[in-house]
Chains A and B, each alone.
Chain A
Amino acid sequence: MKKTLLLIVALLTLSITADAKWWIFGKSNAEIGLKYLQVNKIAADETGPKIKVFREMLAADGLIRINGRGSTGRNAVGSVRISLDDKATWSDVKFSENGTFEYAFKPEPGKTYIMLVEITDTAGKTNKVDETRKEIALSDENIQAKVRETLDAMFDAYNTESLEKFMVRVGDNFAGDKAILERAVKRDFDALGNISLRYTINNVSAGAQGRVFVSVTYNRMVFVNKTGASSTDTGSTEFVFDSKEGALSLFSMKQPLMFGLSDAENVATGTVIGGGETALVLDDSGDIGGALATRSYNSADAHFGYNFETQQFEDCDGTAANCTGQVFFMPGVPYIGVDDNPETTARIGELPGRSASSATLADIEAAATLQQVFGAFAGKTFGIKYGADRYALEITSLSGSGTYSITVRTKAF
């Protein structure tokens, strides 16, 4: 950890102090140019050659603001000019001693402005003006239409299993990491067939930093290649998009997930309130992993059970035969068992090295051979056979004495 931090600090220090012409970047402070250039607070380096701005993302005064800082080496900045009509006319722009400047104009919807910025130093040398060229346009679409266009393209790419077309819509700064999502979607496509995914929009909200929040209701059917089985589910989820070059790129997704089901834990950042973790997930083997659920409980005494069907804990006593669920806990022993329920053929076993999300049916079939396990500790995962049903249960936390606080993650297969 310390070595990593030292390495980062060293890199940062080198980059800050470097004044030589890096072969890698091809620029130096000696050249006349722009230290930075922003259009509506978004770095021009990040926008590409075309910038499409939506009404909803303008400041309330409706102006597009261009600000930057001239870089002129040893000489001072002599003048700053901006053209919005491809050099046909130029406007002088006020600048400060350190070369910073700001220019604002009110765009007309549908019109394209060809912007160029000219920096001249006091010796009369100018920057490479053509390198600053940007096409700026105010979209006459509203943000809802743009969101629908983007979601249509993403859902269509996912339905037709086109990885390239899908990833084009994902931003480089995707919160769950773009590389993780790309591999997860590739695994989704290998695992699923005949994907039919539809949505309607519940809410769209455009806000600061050019970001757009979107809530949708989804409806999904997939076929699992490994088993040939089909699965349908419906629910609501949320996305956040970045706006760039007039296009929206995916910034984050929450559980329940629409895309990247093969690595849901790493792809999703957050859970929709009330959405739970009940949506489709794919396990490492490419099969439907079942629904994940997280449940917590404070026990009234030293005995309690858990029912996978209702996903509820229950206050029960094994010897009184009042447990309706599949497993029974006595953490004080520490004991977890399946021998106090009506299904006498039920079996349980520990799944070493597995979590609820990584446990597979094969793991459970192999491990669940006992009626009880003496070792119900936090961090352990158990597989349960109950009639024809199969479950995985991970104890994520367990504390107390006499009465207990427990949290489990479960998956039903």
Chain B
Amino acid sequence: MKISATFAAVIGLALAAPTLAQDAAQPAPASTSEFHASNEFSMVSNEIKGAGKSASSLTKGLNYLEVLNIYGNGTKGAWTYNYTAGGKATDDLRNDSKKLSLTNIQGRATNNIHTVTAGDVFESFSQYSLATSLKGASYRFNKEGSRLPEVTGVFGWAYPRWDSAWKDPVTRSINRQATGLRLKQAINPDLWAAGSYVGTKDTDRLTATDALYDARNYTFDFGYNPMPGLTTAGEYSMSDYDEATGGTSAKGNAARVELVGDADPSRVSVEYENVEPDFFSALGSASQDRRKIKTRWRYKYTKQVTFTSGLLWYRNNLDGAKTAGTTSNWKPEIAATIKKPFAARPYSFANLSYKFDRKYGGGSSGADHYMNANYRDRFGELDSDTNLGYTLYKTKTAVRDAKEVNFNTSLNSRHQVKSVVFKPSVNLGTWYSKDELADETDKLYEYSLGLGFEAPDANLTSDLRLGSNMLRKSAAGTDDSDKFFASLNAYWRPRLMAKLNDSTLFLRAGFNDYAFTTTSRNFREKSVTVGINTSF
């Protein structure tokens, strides 16, 4: 109840932010404002038949989906403001577990020194500290041209959606309250540094085993341009958390630094990262227990030829506590991109790449090779795109030893008859896998035919596609499968609706037929969606 009241205040503030801006304005000349809205309503009819229909991910029957967004902005005296709000309604639980939900709401006002935001607040401090959205409010002080630091304060809850905020039984989640403060100072024109604090506290456990964290992150980050074309950036974060359910407390550190040199003909980057196993960031982004070094070099050898190479190394078990041992990974790669490999063919383009994965330790030992060749060209009126890949999976622990080959080619063309454009296309593909451990093979064949249609004078576009995928397996007791599919997407912008700036009627129809060796798994899906998208 207390939380709901707080959120009512947050929403009230979000709605009132523009008004507050107007009230706070100095005596001012005429105010200006804009208002826009977009709406999409669609009806979907799905029909699923066959003994295996429970495997379908479609919801049978007639369902609707309505998505509305409004946004606007304006000025009043020295203050400017903007706002946005949106909602979603559906009766298909696979679209959303709620029939009616508020998707977003935000109000923001500023006088170029003070900025207040309420509702959905995404103050991205740094990768380790705060990199997620909150439902709450923030304040920022930033006086351009002064020596004063930029100050940002934020308070809110890290709910993934608004209905979690008012404890809806369906979408209820634990309550993660967050407080953050960041000070950023430009030390000189080439160097800035920032310090931030983010505190989170979890309450309202849903089940007896839900982890509840009380965590604090203290973070320092910087950016530096030491010379033209070279930039460096880095971050250090210390976490300190208590977890109530398991009764654990720990402190951990994470650090990363990156150097990027970028000027023709090269772009070189070097990264180092070290995230301790006990580092915890409730609202940031970090892969725990990882030490990583990464280099990447892109070199434009000529106007036509570019080489790219990279090396990624990382390992876990930084504290040596894993009884399973340490797992290390090496991932080098090299690629060459060649424009016009054949001088006489102006549209030819080739890309060759080789990637390698080496993983060892911790009970694993694998060495995988990925090779790929891509060639694109135009032959007369046909555009072609062909891809050939070879993958070798090899493990010493007999987890996955396999050779795989995949081949895809597509041919597309464009034909104009008066003001109407036709775009026929053909796609062919195959995938072959030889499982060395089981001594079995899998083969997949696929083809599709497409026909795009554009009539600009009638504001009509459509795309028709049909094809089939066939999986053939040699292993006894496993099913072969066939899928036949057909789809039609059509979009029409009728002139009748010209008053509405951008309105589109759309139709999406699809048919999928799945057939298996075990016929009791067979099923068919028919889906038709009609809708209208409007904005002004």
Contact = CB atoms under 8 A, between A and B. Distances in A.
A269 to B, nearest CB: 4
Given A194-B481, A205-B121, 12 more contacts: A19-B227, A24-B261, A25-B263, A60-B80, A183-B370, A202-B101, A207-B123, A221-B55, A236-B97, A274-B171, A296-B211, A407-B248
A228 B257 contact: no
Interface in A54-73: 55-56, 59-62, 69, 71
A144 B86 contact: yes
Given A15-B230, A228-B471, A69 B364 contact: no
A269 B286 contact: yes
B94 A219 contact: yes
Interface string B385-417: 001000100010111101010100000000000
A321 interface: no
Contacts of A225: 433, 442, 444, 471
Given A16-B226, A25-B229, A377 B259 contact: no
Contacts of B331: 179-180, 183
A349 B113 CA distance: 65
A374 to B, nearest CB: 16
Interface stretch (A27-35, A85-93, A328-336, A338-346): A27-35
Contact of A284 (B86, B106, B211, B400): B400
Contacts of A354: 324, 363
A175 B97 contact: no
**Majority secondary structure, B binding face:** strand
Contacts of B231: 36, 43, 45
A87 B51 CA distance: 69
Residue among A176, A217, A379 having the largest count of chain B Cβ atoms under 10 Å? A217
A15 B227 contact: yes
A274 B38 contact: no
Nearest to B523: A230
A99 B264 CA distance: 23
B462 interface: no
A313 B122 contact: no
B88 A207 contact: no
Interface in B102-117: 103-104, 106, 108-110, 112, 115
A203 B324 contact: no
Contacts of B431: 190
A284 to B, nearest CB: 5
Closest A-B pairs by Cβ, 4 of them: A353-B363, A207-B122, A274-B173, A60-B110
Nearest to A358: B364
Given A228-B471, A377-B323, A219 B73 contact: no
Contacts of B123: 207-208
A352 interface: yes
Interface string B317-330: 00001111100000
Given A60-B108, A313-B209, A145 B404 contact: no
B257 A8 contact: yes
A24 B400 contact: no
A319 interface: no
Interface string B266-282: 10111010000000010
A223 interface: yes
A201 B469 contact: no
B227 A29 contact: yes
Give chain A's interface secondary structure class.
Answer: mixed
Contacts of A175: 127, 131, 285-287
B292 interface: yes
Given A45-B262, A221-B56, A227 B478 contact: yes
B449 interface: no
A27 B229 contact: yes
B165 to A, nearest CB: 11
Interface string A268-309: 011011110000000011100000001111100000000000
A225 B481 CA distance: 10
A142 to B, nearest CB: 6
Given A230-B55, A273-B174, A8 B112 contact: no
Contact of B259 (A11, A144, A177, A312): A11
Interface stretch (B2-10, B23-31, B63-71, B491-499): B63-71
B419 interface: no
Contact of A205 (B133, B272, B357): B133
B247 interface: yes
Contacts of A71: 228
Interface in A128-167: 142, 144-145, 164
B444 A193 contact: yes
A273 B263 contact: no
Contacts of B362: 353, 355, 358
A220 interface: yes
B160 A193 contact: no
Contacts of A211: 122, 124, 131
Interface in B137-165: 144, 152, 158-162, 164
Interface in A218-269: 219-221, 223, 225-228, 230, 232, 234, 236, 238, 240, 251-252, 265-266, 269
Contacts of A358: 362-364
A122 interface: no
B168 to A, nearest CB: 11
A70 to B, nearest CB: 10
A273 B399 contact: no
A186 interface: yes
Nearest to A18: B227
6 contacts: A190-B406, A193-B469, A209-B124, A294-B211, A298-B247, A380-B323
Given A203-B133, A286-B400, A144 B160 contact: no
Q: Which of B112, B124, B314, B355 has the most CB of A within 10 A?
A: B124
A405 interface: yes
A215 interface: yes
A102 B363 contact: no
Given A234-B94, A295-B209, A240 B189 contact: no
A274 B172 contact: yes
A60 B17 CA distance: 12
B103 A11 contact: no
